Amino acid sequence: MNMPIVDARGLEPPEPFERAMEALADLQPGQQFTLVLDRMPHPLLRMLDRDGYRHDVSFRDDGAVAILIARP
């Protein structure tokens, strides 16, 4: 099974956050997805920490931020 990718680059706030929230709402325990953004989403990362989601941030060669988000 391929891991879902939510590509929210080029969208105006708050749409990237809303797309991330929609993807989070669909996650079952043990599932994950990658969120691709133009910039670091500090409010989203704080919310993920608060709610116990695992996440790993990486920077792509094209300058985008990729965040692997997993529901425990």
Could you read off the pLDDT of 7-66 as tens digits, one per residue? 999 999 999 999 999 999 999 999 999 999 999 999 999 999 999 999 999 999 999 999
Q: What pLDDT, on the 0 to 100 scale, is given for residue 45?
A: 97
Work out the number of other CB atoms within 10 angstroms of the CB of residue 46.
10
**pTM of this structure:** 0.93
Domain that holds residue 42: 5-70
CATH of residue 11: 3.30.110.40
Q: What pLDDT, on the 0 to 100 scale, is given for residue 2?
A: 73
Q: How far apart are CA 36 and CA 65, in angstroms?
A: 6
Q: What pLDDT, on the 0 to 100 scale, is given for residue 29?
A: 94
Question: What is the total count of domains within the chain?
Answer: 1
Q: What pLDDT, on the 0 to 100 scale, is given for residue 1?
A: 57
